[in-house]
Amino acid sequence: MTPAEQSRRTAEICALAPVVPVLVLRDLAHAAPLARALIAGGLPALEVTLRTPAALDAIRAMAAVPGGVVGAGTLLTPEDVAAAKAAGAAFGVSPGATERLLAACKEIGLPLLPGAATASEVMALLERGYTVQKFFPAETSGGAGAVKALGGPLPQVRFCPTGGISLKSAPEYLKLANVMCVGGSWVAPDALVAAGDWGGITRLAAEAAGLAR
């Protein structure tokens, strides 16, 4: 899968909803009900970060829930890419981009949303064919203003800003022409997940799904 093909598929996923939940799963038992709650609220694209021992099994469980598109976040190595693909991830997300990581995604056919935070990083990925990128870490890298500024010289690149974004700040990003969606963890707070308050999470998801783009 070429970078251009990856970007086309990533763009389709980013177009599903204004917010992609960024999820840290510590208990496998929470995976399927959490996916159902978020999908019911209108957020079908889900990013499960590879930061816990339960992450890969959580991806497997969530991938079996109808209506969702589950991806693996925090891809750092070719081994991560292979494990994510084997677990059923439909796409990958990385905080940055390395030669080995990009090559692995291309070889294995996993659509990647690669991270960039500077004009040089954005240009390097664009040169390879990645027209959809993750702007990370968004809030500490200049926020919506920085994303808007990148749109001047690099209008052909669209972004999914992620990192420190909240319900309050999300609209500032989503109103920009070069932003497709945002990534955020606020739709699945640890307290609600631990309590199994799936109705509360569905309400948060519906609120996020209603944000204008």
Whether 175 is catalytic? no
Task: Show Cβ contacts of residue 91 under 8 Å, excluding neighbours closer than 6 positions.
Answer: 9, 10, 13, 69, 71, 72, 110, 111, 112, 113
Catalytic residue among 12, 47, 148, 168: 47
Token duo for residue 50: 């590879």
pLDDT of res. 129? 97
Whether 134 is catalytic? yes
Write the CATH number of the domain with boundaries 3-209.
3.20.20.70
Catalytic residue among 79, 107, 134, 148: 134
pLDDT in tens, 160-207: 999 999 999 999 999 999 999 999 999 999 999 999 999 999 999 999
pLDDT in tens, 82-115: 999 999 999 999 999 999 999 999 999 999 999 9
Q: Where are the domains of the chain?
A: 3-209
In the chain, % of residues over pLDDT 90: 99
pLDDT in tens, 147-157: 999 999 999 99
Extract long-range pairs of 77-80: CB within 8 Å, 24+ residues apart.
77/101, 77/104, 78/103, 78/104, 80/50
